[in-house]
Chains A and B, each alone.
Chain A
């Protein structure tokens, strides 16, 4: 199909604008560079620091040339239960205020199931003390941005809460977790899964291994299911009821 006419609105951005913006971005990046320059200068003027720097350089060469050592230093990309995780001890940073918060639509269970573009399995294994909340959070449509298509149910008892999140987001989209957070299990012969214990603590900027909140994630019919709740055995039983 001849679509060349559609390119005619394209134009080169104004050179003055391009240069001005480049300069502005470079200026914002200069501060740490100047700091680094000062640091290097202080090393060169101090013999002990120079020796320490030389040792660090040798260490850097070793860890970047010997692959097992390099693998320990670079945050690891791990595939657990068929899902990708970036494993690191470094706190990944806080949510930036300038980033847009994407809010879900809240619908009844029936409306949510109709709005979600995939057929999904709901659990049958919850005890009668748990009641399915009829306010389901749904991320669909263009407004949902990177969260589309995701749906989240919750079951409430007097003391506990269990949630189920289902999404068609690529399971290769790596979540950043701490090294001890993951455990691979199998739900049945064809469904590996991963238990994720804890989460990042924004106050202390470390991973908090909070056993009261466990997530169980697996992939089924090209959808990623994630149950969350306080009781690991209960989550596994619910997950197995979803498989049936």
Chain B
């Protein structure tokens, strides 16, 4: 069954046309970060984001708010794009390219602090990339894309409580490994 906000969104969008420019502004960082969490590679995340939006733009006249909320629709496309990409590329080597290698360094930088932050990010990324696909997917949707458990449930076709419990277990497992490295 659809929940009330989705029904309201569906009714609203039947009357009001969708502001696709606003959709772009709001959703692009979420889609980009979803990919960044999944592939751990900035260039690949940009490529995949571009493919997702190009495909979404091409299909947007066929978007039906009554059928799926916009994030569900958009992340459905994003996950298909990712699946195709992973099938075409053996991504494991690319994933491990340091994500912070091209980060800008402020003029008054604290070398020690920056190195530590980069090491922490690298460590976290490695932990995430070692996760099973489903767990990695949920983490990317939750912490990369910033989606709610309900939105994730609709995208992944899992129940909301199932999403909550998988995330809980996964975060505990990540935390254990994280603390082991930083303990």
Contact = CB atoms under 8 A, between A and B. Distances in A.
Interface of A: 1-3, 5-14, 17-18, 21-22, 24-25, 28-29, 74, 77, 84, 86, 92-93, 96, 98-100, 142-143, 145-146, 148-149, 170, 172-174, 176
Interface in B12-59: 14, 21, 24, 28-29, 32-33, 36-37, 42, 45-46, 49-50, 53-55, 57-59
- Nearest first, the 5 closest Cβ-Cβ pairs linking A and B are A13-B32, A6-B143, A100-B80, A25-B57, A172-B2
A10 B53 contact: no
B120 interface: yes
B166 interface: no
A149 to B, nearest CB: 8
A21 B121 contact: no
B62 A13 contact: no
Contacts of A96: 58-59
B150 interface: no
30 contacts: A1-B168, A1-B171, A1-B172, A3-B171, A5-B120, A6-B174, A8-B120, A8-B124, A9-B143, A10-B36, A10-B143, A12-B29, A13-B29, A13-B32, A14-B46, A24-B54, A25-B24, A28-B54, A77-B66, A86-B66, A86-B67, A93-B62, A142-B134, A142-B137, A145-B79, A145-B83, A145-B157, A146-B157, A148-B157, A170-B2
Contacts, number: 110
A21 B66 contact: no
Contacts of A84: 66
Contacts of A1: 168, 171-172, 175
A145 B2 contact: no
Given A9-B144, A146-B157, A21 B62 contact: no
Nearest to A12: B29
Given A17-B50, A98-B58, 19 more contacts: A1-B171, A1-B172, A2-B175, A3-B175, A8-B121, A9-B36, A9-B124, A13-B45, A14-B42, A14-B46, A24-B50, A25-B53, A28-B54, A86-B64, A98-B55, A142-B156, A145-B79, A145-B83, A173-B68
Interface residues of B, number: 55
B130 interface: no
A225 B76 CA distance: 24
A10 B171 CA distance: 16
B98 to A, nearest CB: 12
A21 B49 contact: yes
Contact of B178 (A5, A10, A21, A148): A5
A98 to B, nearest CB: 6
A151 B177 CA distance: 39
Given A6-B143, A24-B54, A142-B134, A17 B14 contact: no
A148 B128 CA distance: 25
Interface string B109-153: 000000001001100110010000110010100111010000000
A225 to B, nearest CB: 18
Contact of A6 (B2, B14, B124): B124
A17 B46 contact: yes
Contacts of B124: 5-6, 8-9
Contacts of B128: 9
B36 A92 contact: no
Given A10-B144, A92-B62, A145-B76, A29 B174 contact: no
